Amino acid sequence: MHTSSLSIALVSLFAALIAVFGLIPKIDLPLGVPITLQTLGVMLAGCMLGPKRALQALLLFLAAVALGLPLLSGGRGGLGVFFSPASGYLVGWPVGAFVAGWVMAVLPKHSPRSSAISAFIASAVGGLLVVHVFGVVGLVNIANLSWEQAIMGTLVFVPGDLIKCALCATVVHTVARGLPDWRFGG
């Protein structure tokens, strides 16, 4: 398959994967930001595709959401979601995927084990830290929370996101064993 065709296929596949993760029911919190599995898709895109393709996959996904497709967990979509308390997290997804891909690209990947460890670190930096920084900024600006309230509110997501980092590392380990020529991080 031609490289550009492969890129288009992978970007589309990961945008679709994130949509599929949205079919898993969300857990609503009083903060106005639900717990979803879709951040796992952000982590996987970064680690599996590299920074450029991961960014493209998340931008494609969010463009479809903005057009009104109900791809977010709970069947949400449309421009209104970008003005909700969760908007900072959504805006952070492409940046988080890019950062996860970049971190994955610079870390060692000479064995399935080292690839998995690198994926955990890349997921924690991009899919957790970066996304939560954007989420906190969104909570302060959209939900009118204080910085302290926003930071304390986002901490509720961290244990689940660490589990998602471990799941991402497990997937990367499995792919590294089955497809040793896969270029993690791009």
pLDDT of residue 102: 98
Q: Residue 3: is its pLDDT beyond 90?
A: no
Can you give the pTM of this predicted structure? Answer: 0.95
Band (1; pLDDT cuts 50, 70, 90): low
Using DSSP's 3-state secondary structure scheme, residue 155 falls into helix
Longest dimension (CA), the chain: 51
User: Average pLDDT for residues 169-185, to the nearest whole number?
Assistant: 95
Structure confidence by residue, pLDDT tens digits, 94-150 = 999 999 999 999 999 999 999 999 999 999 999 999 999 999 999 999 999 999 999
Q: Residue 20: is its pLDDT beyond 80?
A: yes
Band (185; pLDDT cuts 50, 70, 90): confident
pLDDT of residue 167: 98
Contact predicate 104/50, CB 8 Å: yes
* Long-range own/partner contacts, residues 153-158 (CB < 8 A, 24 or more apart): 153/31, 153/33, 154/33, 156/29, 156/31, 157/33, 157/35, 157/132, 158/128, 158/132
Residue type, position 158, single letter: V
User: Average pLDDT for residues 15-28, to the nearest whole number?
Assistant: 94
Domain boundaries, the chain: 3-178
Q: Which CATH fold topology does 3-178 show?
A: Arp2/3 complex 21 kDa subunit ARPC3 (1.10.1760)
Structure confidence by residue, pLDDT tens digits, 42-92 = 999 999 999 999 999 999 999 999 999 999 999 999 999 999 999 999 999
Band (152; pLDDT cuts 50, 70, 90): very high
User: Average pLDDT for residues 24-41, to the nearest whole number?
Assistant: 90
Q: Residue 2: is its pLDDT beyond 80?
A: no
